[in-house]
């Protein structure tokens, strides 16, 4: 059964599906055979760069069969951990980190400082309490997960500064003192972690990329940043030449680039496949790219409904089959 056919079958009334028991049995056998034919092990095993994905607390036990890096989709955000002041809820994040540790997969924490999904109580605090709360949050995370490999220290500084930005430095002398302060606290708490910044509309848009590069330079001068995160949302119809140009410009800063939050959405299998074939090699083959993290892959567990790569029957869409073959072909070159 093709991915398209399986999705059509899903919409059939339950009674019709029950009446088709024999056919369903045959389909299940086909799906089982497909799973057996699927190569074992992470897609990017043996590569110098990782190909990762996001996990939730309802994690996929087969995750490590495809991906070799983990990002908590929401569980590592401050709001998820400390929705009520002083009450830390680590359960979902513990599940994800324990899973990654047991499979030897590096974790990228997402994220410490972000203007969205911050605790609702923090905006109303006096500045000194805001600053202390952020310090306490970063220190609490570091104490619990001292072995985290990477951290998105500040997420979307150009587009979503936090409500407490003034309390942690504001613009200041650099124009970005609040970002500098955040990285200083993260470096103190996690001296061995790779510290990253993360932002969207950088790969597509020169003006954003120039501002972003200036901010990265400020952090570089102070020895506070180890890599540049660039989100890959919304690249379905992007020009690969433009993407390459912006990657080249960022690479001139001399830091590795971490492509994050990639998904390519289409309800049409062949259209999605064409998107991956056009866009993914530009990201994967760039000399400065240290890793690529997708933002979900299972139907029903991905924020863009039609960007999934595995359907409800655990069947690969053509884009995922191609992705496996393509990445592994690059390892043989």
**Mean pLDDT value across residues 283-296:** 98
pLDDT of residue 12: 32
Answer yes or no: 261 catalytic.
yes
What is the percent of the chain where pLDDT is above 70? 87
pLDDT of residue 41: 81
Q: Would you say 156 and 199 are in contact if contact means Cβ atoms under 8 Å apart? A: yes
Q: Long-range contacts: 2-8, Cβ < 8 Å, 24+?
A: 2/269, 3/269, 3/311, 3/315, 3/316, 3/317, 3/318, 4/268, 4/269, 6/311, 6/312, 6/313, 6/315, 7/311, 7/312
Catalytic residue, from 73, 261, 265, 316: name it.
Answer: 261
Q: Collapse the DSSP code of 228 into the 3-class scheme (helix H, G, I; strand E, B; otherwise coil) and give the result.
A: strand
Burial class (CB in 10 A: 0-12, 13-18, 19+), 48: exposed
Catalytic residue, from 156, 199, 265, 316: name it.
Answer: 156
Q: Would you say 261 and 221 are in contact if contact means Cβ atoms under 8 Å apart? A: no
**Mean pLDDT value across residues 305-309:** 98
CATH class of 42-331: alpha beta
Nearest residue to 212 via CA among 228, 227, 196: 228
Nearest residue to 107 via CA among 117, 91, 90, 94: 94
Edge-to-edge strand list for the sheet holding 289-294? 70-72, 50-55, 289-294, 257-262, 227-231, 194-199, 150-155, 108-113
Say how far apart CA 51 and CA 328 lie, in whole Å: 11
Answer yes or no: 156 catalytic.
yes
Statement: residue 32 has pLDDT above 80: no
Statement: residue 62 has pLDDT above 50: yes
Q: Would you say 162 and 118 are in contact if contact means Cβ atoms under 8 Å apart? A: yes
Q: What confidence tier does 244 reach under pLDDT thresholds 50, 70, 90?
A: very high
**Mean pLDDT value across residues 112-118:** 97
Domain ranges of the chain: 1-37, 42-331
55's enclosing H/E stretch is strand 50-55
pLDDT in tens, 174-202: 999 999 999 999 999 999 999 999 999 99
Statement: residue 332 has pLDDT above 50: yes
The CA distances from residue 144 to 89, 90, 102, 178, 225, in Å, are: 12, 9, 16, 25, 22
Q: What confidence tier does 2 reach under pLDDT thresholds 50, 70, 90?
A: very low
pLDDT of residue 166: 98
pLDDT of residue 28: 38
**Mean pLDDT value across residues 281-290:** 98
What is the rounded average pLDDT for all residues in the chain? 90
**Mean pLDDT value across residues 278-304:** 97
Residue 206: count other Cβ atoms within 10 Å of its Cβ: 12
């Amino acid at each position: 059964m093709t991915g398209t056919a399986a999705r059509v079958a899903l919409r059939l009334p339950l009674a019709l599906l029950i009446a088709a028991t024999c056919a369903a049995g045959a389909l299940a056998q086909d799906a089982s055979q497909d799973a057996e034919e699927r190569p074992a092990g992470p897609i990017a095993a043996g590569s110098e760069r990782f190909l990762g994905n996001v996990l939730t607390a309802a994690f996929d036990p087969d995750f490590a069969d495809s991906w070799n890096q983990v990002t908590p989709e929401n569980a590592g955000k401050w709001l998820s951990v400390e929705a009520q002041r002083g009450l830390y809820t680590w359960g979902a994040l513990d599940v994800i980190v324990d899973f990654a540790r047991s499979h030897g997969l590096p974790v990228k924490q997402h994220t410490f400082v972000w203007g969205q999904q911050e605790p609702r109580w923090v905006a109303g605090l006096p500045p000194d309490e805001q600053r202390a709360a952020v310090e306490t949050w970063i220190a609490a995370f570091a104490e619990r997960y001292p072995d985290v490999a990477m951290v998105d220290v500040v997420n979307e500084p150009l587009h979503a500064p936090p409500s407490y930005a003034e309390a942690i430095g504001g613009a200041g002398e650099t124009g970005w003192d609040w970002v500098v302060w955040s990285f200083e606290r993260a470096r103190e708490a996690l001296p061995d972690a790779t510290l990253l910044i993360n932002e969207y509309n950088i790969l597509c848009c020169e003006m954003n990329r120039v501002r972003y590069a200036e901010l990265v330079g400020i952090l570089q001068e102070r020895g506070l940043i180890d890599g540049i995160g660039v989100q890959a949302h919304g690249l379905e119809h992007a020009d690969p030449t433009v993407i390459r140009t912006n990657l080249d410009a960022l690479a001139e800063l001399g830091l590795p680039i971490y492509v994050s939050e990639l998904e390519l959405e289409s309800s049409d299998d062949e259209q999605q496949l064409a998107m991956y074939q056009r866009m993914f090699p530009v990201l994967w083959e760039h000399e400065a790219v240290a890793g690529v993290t997708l933002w979900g892959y299972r139907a029903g567990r991905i924020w863009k409904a039609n960007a999934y790569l595995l359907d409800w029957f655990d069947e690969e869409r053509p884009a995922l089959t191609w992705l496996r073959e393509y990445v592994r072909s690059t390892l043989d070159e």
